[in-house]
Amino acid sequence: MPEKTRPPIRQKALVINLAQELYGTFSEIGAGQEVARWFFKVGGASGTIAKTMSAYDMTISDVIYGKAQRYVSMPRLETMVRREFELLVKRLTPERGRNTRFFSFANTVKARSYRGEGESHGWMGISFQHKPMEEPSEIILHLRMLDKENVQQQEALGIIGVNLVYGAMLLSQKPETIILSLMDGLSAERIEIDMIRFNGPAFESVDNRLMSLQLVQHGLSEAAMFKANGDVVQPSELFYKRSVLVERGSFRPVTRVSIDMLERALEQFRDESKKKREKPLVILEMTLRNLNRQGRINYQDFLDRADLLGTLGYPVLISNYDTHFRLASFLFRHTQKPIGLVMGIPTLREIFDEKYYTKLDGGILEAFGRLFKNDLKMYVYPLLDKDELVSVETLTVSQRIRHLYAHLIANKHIVSIDNYTYKYLSIFSREVLSKIRKGQAGWEKCLPQKVSQTIKKKRLFGYKSKAK
């Protein structure tokens, strides 16, 4: 449903209230009860709301939902929304279950305090029946509230809550439309949604990795993540108090050189770590720039690449960060531990091209000031260019910035990956992809075994098995 045909927020709340088959509860902790308030103030709430509550006190909350390690967390949100749904169904099914689609909405939020400290964020979700008497489906999301004032954050929370209830109850056949509708009446300057998860009978065909991609594609978030098994995850859950190593690429397909680059960088990264026993978080990142073809995203191609990365056991970050300093800012927000960026010589050469920083007042100096802080290092794999080995030490940069380049090397902000595998230097993913599509022999040896096996099994990238 296009945005222009979707009703305004007040009308959405009224539509829900007037729908006789919808009946549910609201449980909200933090930032007031702004979602429930919308349904009360538009009128007709008695036809929709069975109960509202706010178990604000921790002791009271523990009595109702059990003890929690963190109160603003996905486990707490899941407990709230599922507990309230179970109670509602148990108590009211005998009376009206055959003609009613029950729902339970919940949020747990840390809004801006009067001191103005810490990040404002929260979890929001709804458990609902797609049809009367059916097992529940769920939508759970994590959001960052970007308004500077508490009252504005409350307002934004109320709007997105109404959007979620409306989307779940009336748009469940179109998950993509639900995602778009979440921001009705809002802007990306006020709310960021960096994780969303659909599950249950209403969403049996939904791939949550694709939903994560759409969060980024439609501007609801700059980045989204999922684990190797495909489960979506809120970034801070993985990043919390961990050092991070990130390799950016198109991975079309992921080759032996891509993995060798990552593994050799990881060895150096751990050797240089002050706490060598700590296991860094290793992430593969794909940008929208690497996913776009002729201005459009090939969703199947994206899922194919995600499947291949999953076989190798690495979580995947999808981002809209066109520059490395923006990626670095994202990483700095989630961890204070050491950060490593893994790349080849072509990417390093690109980073030192001043044309990418013309929109910054301080140009490349401003960009590098944002990039090289908080113990961030770049680990660079050499390149074999026309039988000539190009490394960190031999790369030629513009005369204007050669002293800057030398300074970063001397201070070990940029380090060479020395323990590389020479025979892998002749592997280029575009050539491998061409061989796969043309049915040429020998491409398998260029890829990790699990990757080549998966390509053959699932017939990815245009692979066709040879006739027997």
The string of DSSP codes covering 318-373 is EE---SHHHHHHHHHHH--S-EEEEEEHHHHHHHT-GGGGTTSTTHHHHHHHHHS-
Q: CB count, 10 Å around CB of 459?
A: 12
- Say which residues have a Cβ less than 8 Å from residue 468's Cβ, sequence separation at least 6: none
- Say which residues have a Cβ less than 8 Å from residue 214's Cβ, sequence separation at least 6: 176, 179
- Say which residues have a Cβ less than 8 Å from residue 401's Cβ, sequence separation at least 6: 352, 354, 364
- Return the pLDDT at 217: 93
Alpha helices in 250-298 (DSSP H): 256-272, 288-291
Q: In the structure encoding, which two tokens stand for residue 455, read together?
A: 């390509």
Cα torsion for 216, 220, 222, 223, to the nearest 10°? -60
**Identical fold between 3-206 and 237-426:** no
Q: Does the CA dihedral 367-370-372-376 come out positive or negative? A: negative
Q: Which fold has domain 237-426?
A: Rossmann fold (3.40.50)
* Residue 39 CA from chain centroid, whole number: 31
Q: Does domain 3-206 have CATH number 3.90.950.20?
A: yes
Burial class (CB in 10 A: 0-12, 13-18, 19+), 293: exposed
CA distance 377 to 119: 26
The pLDDT tens digits along the chain (468 residues) read: 555 578 999 999 999 999 999 999 999 998 778 999 999 999 999 999 999 999 888 889 889 999 888 889 999 999 999 999 999 999 999 999 999 999 999 999 998 876 666 789 999 999 999 999 999 999 999 999 999 998 999 999 999 999 999 999 999 999 999 999 999 999 999 999 999 999 999 999 999 999 999 999 999 999 999 999 999 999 988 998 899 999 999 999 999 999 999 999 999 999 887 656 678 999 999 998 878 766 688 888 898 899 899 999 999 999 999 999 999 999 999 998 999 999 999 999 999 999 999 999 999 999 999 999 878 999 999 999 988 999 999 999 999 999 999 999 999 999 999 999 999 999 999 999 999 999 999 999 999 999 999 999 999 988 887 644
- Return the pLDDT at 277: 66
Domain ranges in the chain? Answer: 3-206, 237-426
Token pair 């990552």 is found at 262
Could you say which DSSP state residue 465 is in? P
CA distance 8 to 159: 10
Residue 202, φ and ψ in degrees, nearest 5: -75, -15
Q: In the structure encoding, which two tokens stand for residue 187, read together?
A: 């802007």
133 to 18, 90, 101, 206: CA distances (angstroms)? 20, 11, 7, 22
CA distance 121 to 224: 15
- Say if residues 108 and 122 touch (Cβ distance below 8 Å): yes
Rg (CA), the chain: 25
CA distance 312 to 182: 34
The reply to whether omega before 253 is within 30° of 0 (cis) is yes
- Return the pLDDT at 296: 81
Q: In the structure encoding, which two tokens stand for residue 19, read together?
A: 């729908």
- Return the pLDDT at 468: 45
